[in-house]
Structure 1
């Protein structure tokens, strides 16, 4: 797959040993589900590749930065990667452990062996050579990989977002991001402020309540809360079915009517709905509606308290925008994630400054000069899988065409040599 070239360093005392490696095929940055899906599709097409991963395992977000009780929010058939469905004995909503097991089996099946602990420092396209130059740092080694194609698979959730709130440094208690939260067991009997009301904020609040903590959930803006199932059928599956027949606005209307019939008026409990429908909001702003798995009942019973935005923190307490002050033992920031692409990719056409592709779905997967993006559709695993298939097909067309031409030249040369004898 690769040829190794070592360049002498004039300074023998240099801290790093430097290498330059040619990759015979695309480089995939990131060994999460998106990167694995792309690698598997390339393997099926017979195209060699190299996967670079900054952590020491595949799917590090799932393995290291998710809470214990996490399950897939959508039915498994909408979360499977290309070529391989989930095992039949898996439940409709696989657990975190089961999903990781599926990914590890998937990686083994397609013989995907990422280079772990390889943190990409920069990637730039060299106009002179027409190649991508990808620099990484691993332990005491600095490496520059050179390739024709670069697949960005670091995803939408590469880095945790920690807001800067007035007085937070004076709080004195534990403050963590949701990515560091594992279980509510350690918070028994404690007052915990959960900042954020997305799927993570709702589920962490539920988990805290189930472990006899006293969670207060900060809801600064409007939010769509939908039941995970409507009359025994997946809400996502129902929406997908309706979308194949009806316009978006009508599907939104139907979903909101059915939601009201199932869970009632959530505004009675401090949760204000946006003026725009859930699917329209998702398409325009990428905001995913919350799929309720039990938190709403806890809110209705008062076990989870809904509070407005934060004005400032003080020692052991928080002042809210309505003037109310709460005593708090710990704070969990369920404030989301962001892309890290702007920190390492030197490119201005495919990606915007926020680290997401400029073009809307479904045209965000391909850039110029052999650059691709997978896992940035804001459509979960199904969107990543669809892009992975397109990327592999696109690269393999060029790969197979050039390989065929090379074989023809080799055969012609061989025939000329024989004819001379």
Structure 2
């Protein structure tokens, strides 16, 4: 978007998605009425609905069935917006995401990541923690800000290297 208007970037994104995924509507995945970047700009939460590439690869051969939105649940019977009903042995509502980062990340930096698995600091200082721990593209803005974070991190590492070299330390 540094060189092209958002509408053109949106069209490029949608064209590349079409090349990769084809017509997703034939599998029950309808595209939103707005283009992706425009929709992101309109969103108050900066969150967009996405389907994981691996999930899509299982939807295409019909290993996973995409159903219309549901309108009611009575016991084990679910009624969908197309008025069809289906019986289910189990109904699981996957309504959110909770990171398992703290199960594998070992750090003594109490200030970088909050309990919600997001950076504690607000933009623009969200990317830097203590002890050379960084977060790139991890803030509640969007993935388009990943490059901004990466440049800040690269500059910080470069500055540390130059300072260490000037003080006679080699990494």
TM-score, scaled relative to structure 1: 0.26
Q: Residues 97, 356 of structure 1: CA spacing in aligned structure 2 closer, same or farther, 3 A cutoff?
A: farther
Shift of 1:406: 2.1
RMSD: 4.5
- In structure 2, the residue matched to 1:208 is 27
Question: Deviations along 1:88-108, whole A, 9 cap, x unmatched?
Answer: xxx71223987xxxxxxxxxx
Pairing 1:327–2:86 present: yes
Matched, 1:370 2:132: yes
Is residue 95 of structure 1 aligned with residue 17 of structure 2? Answer: yes
More strand by share: 1
What is the aligned residue count?
139
CA shift, 1:362, in A, is: 2.6
Shift of 1:370: 2.3
Secondary structure in structure 1 of the residue aligned to 2:167: helix
Q: For residue 227 of structure 1, give the secondary structure of its aligned residue in structure 2.
A: coil
Can you give the 5+ residue segments of structure 2 that lack an aligned partner in the other structure?
Answer: 1-5, 51-66
* 1:389–1:76 Cα change, 3 Å: farther
Local SS of the residue matching 1:377: coil
CA–CA distance in 2 between the matches of 1:352 and 1:370? 17
Change (3 A) 1:307 1:236: closer
Partner of 2:35: 228
Residue 227 (structure 1) shift: 1.5
Deviations along 1:72-130, whole A, 9 cap, x unmatched? xx87858xxxxxxxxxxxx71223987xxxxxxxxxxxxxxxxxxxxxxxxxxxxxxxx
- Picking from 160, 163, 166, the partner of 1:404 is 166
- If asked which structure has higher relative contact order (CA below 8 Å, sep 6+), I would say 1
Partner of 1:384: 146
Structure 1 residue runs without a partner (length 5+): 1-73, 79-90, 99-181, 184-202, 211-216, 218-224, 240-277, 291-303, 410-421
Is structure 2 residue 151 aligned with structure 1 residue 344?
no
Are the counterparts in 1 of residues 119 and 126 from structure 2 also a CA contact under 8 Å? yes
Mapped pair 1:360 → 2:119: no
Query: Structure 1 residues 335, 208: CA separation in 2 closer, same or farther (over 3 Å shift)?
Result: farther
Give the 5 Å matches for 1:252-331: 278-279=42-43, 281-282=44-45, 286-288=46-48, 305-308=68-71, 310=73, 314=76, 318-319=77-78, 326-327=85-86
